[in-house]
Structure 1
C-alpha cells in the first residue's frame, strides 16, 4: 500500500480466525504461497474450532518470525511481518492495515529482485479460487 511508511493491507472476513488473532496480538504475518502449496490452500480456508490449527491440518510447519510473535509458515516462499495499524469495515469484510517490520524471501526466489517465474506465487482471488500462472513482463517508461 505504501513505501513510506511501509504498509501492507488486505481484506478479511470478520468471522475468520485471522481477524481474531490480529486483535489478540496486534501483529500478523502474511505468508506467500507458491504453486506447490495449492493443494493445501482449501484446508487453510476451512472453518475449524479456534483451538484447532489449520496449519497442522494442512501438514505445514510453523517457525519463529524475526520481529513479531505470530509464527510464519516454513513452507512459504516469502513472508511479510507486520504490526497492526488500523482496520476499516468495508461491506461484509474488514480492510486490515499493518506496518511492515520485516520481510523474507527464500533464496531460490530472490536474485536481487523477486523472480515470480521461479516461485510461481498464488494470488487469492476469493473463496477456493487462486490465480497461478502469472505473465511477467517488463514495461519501459513512455518517453515524452
Structure 2
C-alpha cells in the first residue's frame, strides 16, 4: 500500500487513527488525513517519530510566529515611504500589472538602511512575486 488516502493497509489505517488521537491537541480544522499522512509517511509510519516530528514542527511555528506573520508584519518605513511603484491593475487576460520605475530609486540608500531579507519580505508582502533580480535586469536593459 502507498500510505495515501484511499490506499491504506489495515495497519496503516489503525496507525493513522492512533496518530489522530495522539495529536488532537495540535490539530486545526484544516488538518485532514492528507496532512497527517504526510507526517506518517515521512517516518515510515513510525508513530513515535511522526508525533515527535509534528510536535517539533508545531513548536517551531509557534516560536517563530509563522502562523501570524501576515497579520503582524509591518512594512518598514523606508520601503513604505520611498519605494516607488506598485500594482496598478490587470491586463485584458487578467494578469496583474506592476510598475516599478527603478530609475528613481536610490538603491545604494536602500542598501545602507536595510537588509536584503527585510527588503524581500516587504516586497513579497505587497504581492511582488516575480523576483527583484528580473526587474533589476530589465531596468538595466540586459
Structure 1 and Structure 2 fold alike (TM over 0.5): no
Structure with the larger RCO, 1 or 2 (CA within 8 Å, 6+ apart): 1
- Shorter-normalised TM range: under 0.3
User: TM-score, normalised to structure 2's length?
Assistant: 0.21
- Specify which structure has the higher proportion of helix: 2
- Specify which structure has the higher proportion of strand: 1
